[in-house]
Structure 1
Amino acid sequence: MLGFPTQLKYIIGPVSVAFFIVIASLIPDNFLETLYFEPNKAFSGELWRIITGQFLHSNNAHMWMNIAGLALVWALHGDHYRIHHFWVLSIAGMLLVGLLVTLFSEYGIYTGFSGVLHFLLAYGAMIDIKNKDKTGYLLIIGLIAKVAYENIFGAAQSTEQLIDASVAVDAHAFGLVTGFLLFIVIKSLYI
């Protein structure tokens, strides 16, 4: 891709997701208790938390970092998705990452969209590879290196201080793996 995907059909998806993230930041504190993604409560039947909690963030810095991540997804792969594709993939990412966080992580509360961002970046990189765009290989290698580093050495303390929370490095790994695997499953169904 030589330029940014500036046609409205490519912009609406990421902008509408960002809009919901910003709206979620305006929810009064007394309602947040029922929306946070608490894996134990999701596992006990409060399944909406898997979606709602990923729209919530620990603070405004965390929110704006994730919105910047959405802008990166749009800049790299915006032309791959129309609005409904972007939303379907975002929800698939939230469900897959959320399910894995619920089953395999030990978070008291999980907030943020970064697991889904890793999912979207991995999925988009696989589309690039399918389209014979070599940058897809570079992005996959970079994502694998980043996630491996985070899971071996931990996230940067400066990031944790900025977002006033622990970085969910396993959610990043779950996003990377599920984005890659969902692409393979979909591709095998539509060959």
Structure 2
Amino acid sequence: MTFTAKNLPIQKQHTLIVSIISILAILAFVFDDQIANLFVYQHNAISQGELWRVFTGHLFHTNAVHLLLNLSALLLLWALHGHFYNIKNYSLMFISSALVCSLGLYLFSPDISQYVGLSGVIHGIFVFGAIMDIRHKDKTGYLLFIGVWLKIAHEQYYGASEQVANLIDANVAIDAHLWGAIGGLVFSCGYIIYLNAKKS
């Protein structure tokens, strides 16, 4: 699909959930001091049964730059792949990526005691968009799909960018990127199976 301002996916079905997530993230940032302790991802708190944190923690950010970086990525992905979004699939994609991301961190990165940010989920959204491009015979989908996994592999091997860490005033949780992308991959495979079954 050729990207132009004229073909931005501005219909309600394409924008509603993206807008809600963005607004919730902004509200979480504004009221961070009042509510963060109750809602951010904290390994120990989740171990004690505060399971809502596996979802709500993704809406919080370390500082304004962190928030703006993630909201910009969310917006760019919407501009690129929003025509594939609808209220149901985007909601399920967000939930799947957030859940797999948090569970991956909880089970395999217990040294990460606290995590905030949408970046893990954004990697899942990126994977979904690339796979949908591929399904619709758009060759750029292959480049995007390969590119995101090369980025993740680079992070896993070499670590995160120090410049980004300085910008967001925190360590970059590269494992969140890995697990978020896996969550997006799992959802995308299930979604394609659903669409193919619906066709037949």
Same fold per superposition (TM over 0.5): yes
Structure 2 CA distance for aligned equivalents of residues 179 and 85 of structure 1:
11
Q: State the one-letter code of the partner of 1:175.
A: G
Provide the TM-score with structure 2 as the length reference.
0.89
Aligned to 1:133: 138
Counting only pairs closer than 5 Å after superposition, residues 154-169 of structure 1 correspond to structure 2 as 154-169=159-174
Aligned to 1:5: 9
**Offset of residue 187 of structure 1:** 2.6
**Deviation per residue, 1:103-146 (Å, 9 max, x gap):** 11121110001000000110121111111111110101110111
Provide the TM-score with structure 1 as the length reference.
0.93
Counting only pairs closer than 5 Å after superposition, residues 1-191 of structure 1 correspond to structure 2 as 1-2=1-2, 3-105=7-109, 106-189=111-194, 190-191=196-197
Judge which range, 153-162 or 6-15, deviates more. Answer: 6-15
Q: State the one-letter code of the partner of 1:166.
A: N
Structure 2 CA distance for aligned equivalents of residues 24 and 88 of structure 1:
21
SS in 1 for 2:74: helix
Structure 2 CA distance for aligned equivalents of residues 125 and 7 of structure 1:
21
Structure 2 CA distance for aligned equivalents of residues 30 and 7 of structure 1:
34
Structure 2 residue runs of 5 or longer lacking an equivalent are none
Aligned-residue sequence identity (percent) comes to 36
Structure 1 residue runs of 5 or longer lacking an equivalent are none
SS in 2 for 1:45: coil
**Deviation per residue, 1:58-89 (Å, 9 max, x gap):** 11110111101101210121000123322221
Question: Is the 8 Å Cα contact of residues 13 and 84 (structure 1) preserved in structure 2?
Answer: no
**Offset of residue 28 of structure 1:** 4.6
